Amino acid sequence: MVSGKQGAKLDVIRLKQEDEVKQPAPVRRSPPVRKLVIRLLPGINEHLRSEMRYRGDLSAMIIEAVNSVDLKTVRLVDLASDTRLGTTTIAIPPSVHTHLKSVANARSASMNEMVNTAVAHWLASKKVIRLR
């Protein structure tokens, strides 16, 4: 700071030299994701969003569910039992997308069935819902 007229302190702002070269800002790259539109059964949707209030990101919880459930062997949920499905979009890594797609193809099911199945079994393991 320097003193200006009548003793007031002035901030000093540095100016660039004419020959200074501006360095480009580093490029921040987000990890690659795939967007997936899913339709969740009302009971699953309600409980998952309730869990989300306490834990955060919906996509992260669905990824955790998909990674923690053996989708090759568990019983699939019946999506035909309820037509009031809540639609949402999640962001998942390409590896999770590939896994869901391959298991869905192997089981002649949709990726949506696989997501609902994974979340249902994941919530059941936490004693949040009961499967029958």
Instruction: Report whether pLDDT(118) > 90.
Output: yes
pLDDT at res. 46: 86
Average pLDDT over residues 111-115: 96
Please say if the pLDDT value at position 1 is more than 60. no
% of the chain with per-residue pLDDT over 90: 48
Residue 92 has pLDDT above 80, yes or no: yes
Three-state secondary structure of 96-124: HHHHHHHHHHHCCCCHHHHHHHHHHHHHH
User: Of 82, 86, 101, nearest to 34 (Cα)?
Assistant: 101
Asked whether the whole model's pTM tops 0.85, one would answer no
Give the pLDDT score at 56.
Answer: 59
- pLDDT surpassing 90 at residue 3: no
Strand, helix or coil for residue 79:
helix
DSSP string, 7-70: G-EE---PPPPTTPPPPPPPPP-PPP-EEEEEEE-HHHHHHHHHHHHHH--HHHHHHHHHHHS-
Mean pLDDT, rounded, of the chain: 86
Whole-angstrom distance, CA of residue 130 vs CA of residue 122: 11
Interval 8-56: pLDDT, tens? 788 888 777 777 677 777 877 778 899 999 999 888 888 888 877 756 5
* Tokens standing for residue 62: 């669905």
**Would you place residue 79 in the very low, low, confident or very high pLDDT band (cuts 50, 70, 90)?**
confident
For residue 131, give the nearest of 78, 86, 82, 88 by alpha carbon: 78
Summarize the confidence of residues 82-105 as an average pLDDT.
Answer: 91
